[in-house]
A and B are shown apart, each in its own frame.
Chain A
Amino acid sequence: MPLRKPKLAVWKFSSCDGCQLSLLDCEDELLAVADAVEIANFPEASRAVVKGPYDLSLVEGSITTPHDAERIHGIRRASNFLVTIGACATAGGIQALRNFKDVKEFTSIVYARPDYIETLKKSTPITDHVFVDFELRGCPINKYQLVEVLSAFLHGRKPNIPPHSVCMECKQRGTVCVMVAQGIPCLGPVTQMGCGALCPGYSRGCYGCFGPKETPNTTALSARWSEMGVGDRDLMRAFRGFNAYAEPFRRESEAHEK
């Protein structure tokens, strides 16, 4: 670690603010983190702004406006490492549902004067625009994984964020499989772990907050859901959630959209 404190910046694009709030939700760790780094840009928490370059930038949110598509390049240039946090930044987020429809129609549904609104046709992840050093998944991200990513980058090592499925976490917790035992449709087999297998622990099927795991077999899972009586439209909606525009989920949802 350099002798001076590393400079941390937090940037927001189209999002709900929940992932950057995860940093403030580290009630027990926040003051320690603030001690280890210089918080150089974090508007949600501070009106003070320190100029770049920054050692580490955390980027929340997706790109949805022409202005933001420009802004992200400046942030990349000013950042040694750039880490994206959350489903919006890593997959386009829930607002990427516009990508399957005509955004003009969307604008006219919500706004009386669509001509006042400047927006892009698609909501896209940060990695579609600039090089990203690491993507931290989740809607929202897990705050302990965030602390792990911060520590890793500040110490020059690779973050320890396993890309396995939620099923692994259910096994680790000792949660009985909700799909096998209770017949509840679950996206766990194709979804990346990281939440702690929360939903099955509450007798609910996983709904895919953390996006596709590495090498997900979505076709096989869909076939199993169909055998359980889930129709095509419901399958389409299941894959078309908070990570709808992540490639494996996008393809699977489109396969059921007829």
Chain B
Amino acid sequence: MKSRTIHVDYLARVEGEGALSVKIKDQQVTDVKLKIFEPPRFFEAFLRGRKFYEAPDITARICGICPIAYQMSACHAIEDACGIKITGPIRELRRLLYCGEWIESHALHVYLLHAPDFLGYEDAIRMAKDHPDEVKRGLRLKKAGNEIVRLLGGREIHPINVRVGGFYKVPEKRAFSELAEELKWARDAALETVRWVATFVFPEFERDYEFVALRHPDEYPFNEGRLVSNQGLDISVREYDQHFVEEHVAYSNALQSRLKERGPYFVGPQARYSLNFDKLSPVAQEAARSAGLGPVSRNPFQSIVVRSVELVYACDEALRIIEHFEMPDQPTASVEPRVSTGYGCTEAPRGILHHRYRLDDRGLIVDAKIVPPTSQNLKTIEGDLWQFVQTHLVIQKEKLQWQCEQAVRNYDPCISCATHFLKLHLERE
């Protein structure tokens, strides 16, 4: 009997703290565990007793990489509870802000966290020695996204200008026009990014995933839409709890989500793309086609290409919004709390982020539920590893371990969100 294990004690180039352990016995994978040892932070507990208007600032602190996503889901959920729907210029500005976060977060992942795997570097700084132009392009792209967040949000991490109902202050129109110049460069750089990552070598790997994402009749989804899947799910955001359940496993500080009826599912750029290809702008669709992507993308190692296509879209959409920008009469709508439960689900860079709040008559939060994208992908990542290791057992151990890490990084997991961090532990008995 021959057995072995693969261990990664601290998974690098992900946000947060996690470990991975794979057990192999007689050439069969017998166990895969993605362990999240990021310490629990209890956000849902201490939101109880806070005022409804505090939710966006408090939940932003769940994640330093995608605070906008938390602010957007929180605002939409609270507004839903209060019976308010934001339209017009403020709605557009929220999309613009989200474009900024997608650009910043995707550029970070594509260039600094994921590309080094494909080119065989420990990190982007070492990669920069041989590929300085690419790394500089990535940093400038990231900066272009951050410029949007800084203008509209006040700062890149934990922006201060978002509030339930809208914004504290809307910057002058002139400031947006100044952004446009750099965004035109960014769109070209994003197209260049798609061409670059399309030349990478991708392991042959596909599974029949259930993709879940928002879908909106008129646009590629950020803040609104119905929750749909490629296996028949089509529900309103308010019906989330009837279809999804979170489970607590002994080895992890993160809860794992599954669809009640069918089990694990897949959220994030590839799910969004595969369910909304027709809503991408023409330039983004064309970029995808020329990179050899079809309207559905099932190889998770190609997520880097899809993420790059979304970079193109986000730059394109930001430019469209700036071009048609109108100053709102008021920076915010007035929101009066009432006894109610509200639901919000938006497309964080890593996939759908679900919030639910119950408010009392004083506007206090009495109950909160937050389901981040990474905890929704955890079971799917484990499933990928089962199949990937089983079909790649011949690979030498060190390389297999690196590829397992890469397979996890395909999902750009944010363990700070799902609680936080990744180690790989590959065990062969």
A residues in contact (CB < 8 Å) with B = 12-22, 24-25, 27-28, 30-31, 34, 39, 42-48, 64-65, 68, 93-95, 97-98, 101, 103, 105-107, 109-113, 116-117, 119, 139-140, 195, 198-199, 201-204, 207, 209, 234, 237, 242
| Distance A25 CA – B141 CA, assembled complex (angstroms) | 11
- For B12, B65, B108, B161, the residue with the greatest tally of chain A CB atoms inside 10 Å of its CB is B12
Residues of B participating in the A interface, judged by any CB pair closer than 8 Å: 10-17, 38-46, 48, 50-51, 54, 57-58, 61-65, 67, 108, 112-113, 122-126, 128, 135-136, 139-140, 142-143, 146, 154-158, 160-161, 167-169, 246-250, 253, 255, 402, 405, 414, 416, 420-421
Docked CA distance A68–B37 (Å):
11
Q: Is the CB of A27 within 8 A of B154?
A: no
Contact of B247 with A112 in the complex, beta carbons under 8 Å: yes
Can you list 5 A-B pairs with a CB-CB distance of less than 8 A?
A12-B421, A18-B64, A98-B46, A110-B45, A202-B168
Q: B40–A43 contact, CB under 8 A?
A: no
Q: In the complex, A101→B48 CA distance in Å?
A: 12
A117 near B40 with CB under 8 A, answer: yes
Alpha-carbon separation in the docked complex, A110 to B40 (Å) = 9
Q: How far is the CA of A209 from the CA of B253 in the complex (A)?
A: 27
Inter-subunit contact A47/B123 (CB<8 Å): yes
A47–B158 contact, CB under 8 A? no
Q: How many A-B residue pairs have CB under 8 A?
A: 181
> What B residues does A140 contact at CB under 8 A?
64, 155, 157-158
A175 to chain B, nearest CB (A): 12
A16-B64, A19-B64, A237-B50 are contacts. A31–B161 as well, Cβ < 8 Å?
no
List the 5 shortest-distance A-B pairs measured between CB atoms, nearest first.
A18-B64, A46-B123, A47-B12, A48-B122, A106-B45
| A17 contacts B416, C-beta separation under 8 Å | yes
CB-CB nearest in chain A for B246: A112
A191 CB → nearest B CB, Å: 13
> Quick check: A18 and B67 within 8 Å, CB to CB?
yes
**Min CB–CB distance A248 → chain B (angstroms):** 21
Whether B156 lies near A25 (C-beta < 8 A) is yes
Whether B250 and A116, one on each chain, are in contact in the complex, defined by CB atoms closer than 8 angstroms, is: yes
Asked if A18 and B65 sit within 8 Å, CB to CB, the answer is yes
Q: Beyond A14-B39, A18-B64, A202-B161, is A109–B123 a contact (Cβ under 8 Å)?
A: no
Q: Across the interface, which residues of B come within 8 angstroms of A30, CB to CB? A: 125, 139
Q: Which of B11, B42, B65, B161 contacts A107 (CB 8 A)?
A: B42
Residues in A with CB closer than 8 Å to B45 are: 98, 101, 105-107, 109-110
Q: Are A203 and B39 in contact (CB under 8 A)?
A: no
Report the Cα distance A242→B60, complex, angstroms.
11
Q: Give Cα distance in the complex from A236 to B13, angstroms.
A: 39
Q: Pick the residue among B12, B54, B112, B124 that contacts A43 (CB under 8 A).
A: B12
Q: Which residue of A lies closest to B10 (CB)?
A: A43
Contact A139 B158 (CB under 8 A): yes
Least CB distance, B363 to chain A, in whole angstroms: 11
B122 A46 Cβ-Cβ under 8 A: yes
Known contacts A15-B416, A30-B139, A47-B13; decide if A21 and B154 are in contact (CB<8 Å): no
Smallest CB gap from A103: residue in B: B42
With A47-B123, A48-B126, A65-B39 in contact, do A17 and B160 touch (Cβ < 8 Å)? no
Name the residue of chain A whose CB is nearest to the CB of B143: A27
A14-B419 Cα distance, complex, nearest whole Å: 9
Given contact pairs A43-B13, A112-B247, enumerate 12 new A-B contacts (beta carbons under 8 Å): A12-B16, A17-B63, A22-B157, A45-B123, A47-B122, A94-B61, A95-B46, A98-B45, A98-B46, A119-B40, A207-B57, A209-B158
**Contact between B42 and A95 (Cβ–Cβ < 8 Å)?**
yes
> For the complex, what is the distance from the CA of A64 to the CA of B39, rounded to whole Å?
7
When the two chains form their complex, are residues B51 and A234 in contact, meaning their CB atoms are under 8 A apart? Answer: yes
With A97-B46, A119-B39 known as contacts, the answer to whether A202 contacts B160 (CB < 8 A) is yes
Please determine whether A106 and B46 come into contact, CB atoms closer than 8 angstroms: yes
